[in-house]
Amino acid sequence: MLTRRGALLAGLGLTAPVLFAGAARASALETKALAFHNLHTGEALTIEYWQNGGVPADAAAAISHILRDHRTGEAHAIDVRLLDLLYSLSGELPTTRPFQVISGYRSPQTNATLADASSGVARRSLHMQGMAIDIAIEGLDTIALRDAALALRGGGVGYYPDPGFVHVDVGRVRQW
């Protein structure tokens, strides 16, 4: 005997795959955009980095270029998880201004030089793997930026109030 509850559950069971398939199609068709302003080079970029379920090669190249090591000119692939973290972060902020890039990718040479000069630079920094970025947003308090990044729990968050930036990465969840 089929109860009303059983009928409802059976009905949901029959329709759930259709709902999930629709959600999967919607995410594959979703586009995601980011905006950057590199403070060291003066370059700006607004780009749809996610299209048709992936990162187009030209978008990946443009992002690698704007987030390159400004000291050496060396570019590196940027982890899509970092881009997704920045996208999520931008959605949590009360502004549409671009991310100001203080440091994106760092070559091993640049990272070693910075680590020799400062105890605040990790010798095995995720910047060297395209998995970290130091950012600010014009007109937005860095405390608000830090708090929004911490709330996402998407990786590491470092707060640097005196130079005025926040570090975010897609390593393990931690803060400093």
Give tens-digit pLDDT for 100-119: 999 999 999 999 999 889 87
* Residue 116 domain-assigned (yes or no): yes
* Residue 117 domain-assigned (yes or no): yes
For range 53-68, the mean pLDDT: 98
Q: Can you give the pLDDT at residue 3? A: 43
* Residue 8: C-alpha distances to residues 17, 23, 24, 95 (Å): 15, 21, 24, 44
Based on the structure, what is the number of domains in the chain? 1
- Give the confidence band of 34 by pLDDT, cuts at 50, 70, 90: very high
* Residue 90 domain-assigned (yes or no): yes
* Residue 50 domain-assigned (yes or no): yes
Residue 166 host element (H or E): strand 165-169
* Residue 21 domain-assigned (yes or no): no
Please report how the helices 142-152 and 80-92 are oriented relative to each other, as an axis angle in degrees rounded to 10. Answer: 120
* Residue 100: C-alpha distances to residues 11, 13, 109, 117, 168 (Å): 50, 47, 23, 23, 13
Q: Can you give the pLDDT at residue 120? A: 78
CA 72 to chain centre: 23
How big is the CA angle at 94 (ends 88 and 99), to the nearest 5 degrees? 60
Q: Which residue has the higher pLDDT, 30 or 121?
A: 30
For range 22-40, the mean pLDDT: 78
**Can you give the residue range of the structural domain that contains 75?**
31-175
Q: For residue 34, give the DSSP letter.
A: E
pTM for the whole thing? 0.82
* Residue 16 domain-assigned (yes or no): no
* Residue 167 domain-assigned (yes or no): yes
Tokens standing for 145?
A: 């930026």
| CATH label of the domain that carries residue 159 | 3.30.1380.10
For range 28-36, the mean pLDDT: 91
Q: Which residue has the higher pLDDT, 63 or 11?
A: 63
Q: Which residue has the higher pLDDT, 174 or 115?
A: 174
| Residue 11 pLDDT greater than 50, yes or no | no
* Residue 24 domain-assigned (yes or no): no
Q: Can you give the pLDDT at residue 118? A: 85
Q: Can you give the pLDDT at residue 5? A: 40
Strand bridging mode 156-160 / 99-103:
unpaired
